Amino acid sequence: MSTGADVARRFRHWLVSIAIIVVMTAHAHADDPFLGRWSIDPAGCQTSGNTAASTPFVVTDHNVTWYMASCTIKKSYRIGEGLYLQAQCLSGGKSHVMPIGLHLKGHGRMTVTWDQTNTGEMKRCR
């Protein structure tokens, strides 16, 4: 039969375990190499322009925004240095599902395939 002290000790152990898992998970997301602001043209990091090159490409855990589109990530998977997304995007008042491919190309560089069109290389904004 468990005593009150045994139950309290097990409960504290469970809480510490949960806290460690939460911290490790949060740390993993913060270190995700795809998350952040990217731009084709370095000037796009400083302003929100009116072209694909002059607008930052922003990736979060749940969304991608770029140029004239705001997307919610519905599915994602990784293969090697690539992250492949299926996203529900709103652009020009219309909503559609489209693929987005992100591929790391060395330190601070990535290529993007936007709705099956290669957009060229982007650099991480600082």
What CATH number does residue 101 fall under? 2.40.128
98: closest CA among 75, 120, 77? 75
Residue 43 or 101, more confident: 101
Backbone angles phi, psi at 19, to 5 degrees: -60, -40
pLDDT band at 76 (very low <50, low <70, confident <90, very high): very high
- Would you give the DSSP letter of residue 18? H
**Each residue of 96-121: pLDDT tens digit?**
999 999 999 988 999 999 999 999 89
Q: How far apart are CA 37 and CA 55, in angstroms?
A: 10
Q: Which domain holds residue 101?
A: 34-124
Residues 44 and 76 in one domain: yes
Q: Please report the beta strands in 35-108, taking only residues with DSSP state E, as ranges in sequence order.
A: 36-39, 57-59, 63-66, 69-79, 82-91, 94-104
**Each residue of 13-28: pLDDT tens digit?**
433 333 333 333 333 3
With a cut of 60, say whether residue 55 has pLDDT above it: yes
Q: What's the rounded mean pLDDT across residues 64-72?
A: 94
Residues 101 and 79 in one domain: yes
* pTM of the entire predicted model: 0.73
Residues 98 and 77 in one domain: yes
* Structural domain count of the chain: 2
Residues 76 and 94 in one domain: yes
